[in-house]
């Protein structure tokens, strides 16, 4: 099985990655196109999420990612962080 991330990113790492990405987009002068791209794809988010759920049984044999272990670990993280 493919293990992409064994442990979740810390808030510090998430902030550092977001800042790095934002600074590169700004340095390259792509702020307006990036905002337009993000806003343009908002309506597709619900469709994409539902499609991912529907087609995951067909994709799993090709990717080797087991959704039950991925879901279980993320829900455990959510429970421990909320209380």
- Where are the chain's structural domains? 25-82
Query: How many angstroms separate the first and last alpha carbons of the chain?
Result: 31
Question: What's the whole-number mean pLDDT along residues 71-76?
Answer: 52
Instruction: Convert the pLDDT of each residue in 12-44 to its tens digit.
Output: 999 999 999 999 999 999 999 999 998 998 888
pTM metric for this prediction: 0.48
pLDDT at 39: 92
CA 1 to CA 53: how far, in whole Å? Answer: 20
């Amino acid at each position: 099985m493919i293990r992409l991330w064994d442990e979740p990113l810390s808030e510090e790492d998430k902030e550092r990655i977001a800042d790095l990405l934002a600074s590169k987009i700004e340095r390259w002068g792509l702020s307006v196109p990036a905002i337009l791209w993000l806003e343009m794809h908002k309506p597709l988010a619900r469709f994409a999420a539902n499609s991912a759920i529907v087609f995951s049984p067909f994709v799993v044999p090709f990717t080797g990612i087991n959704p039950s272990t991925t879901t279980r670990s993320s829900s455990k993280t959510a429970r421990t962080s909320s209380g």
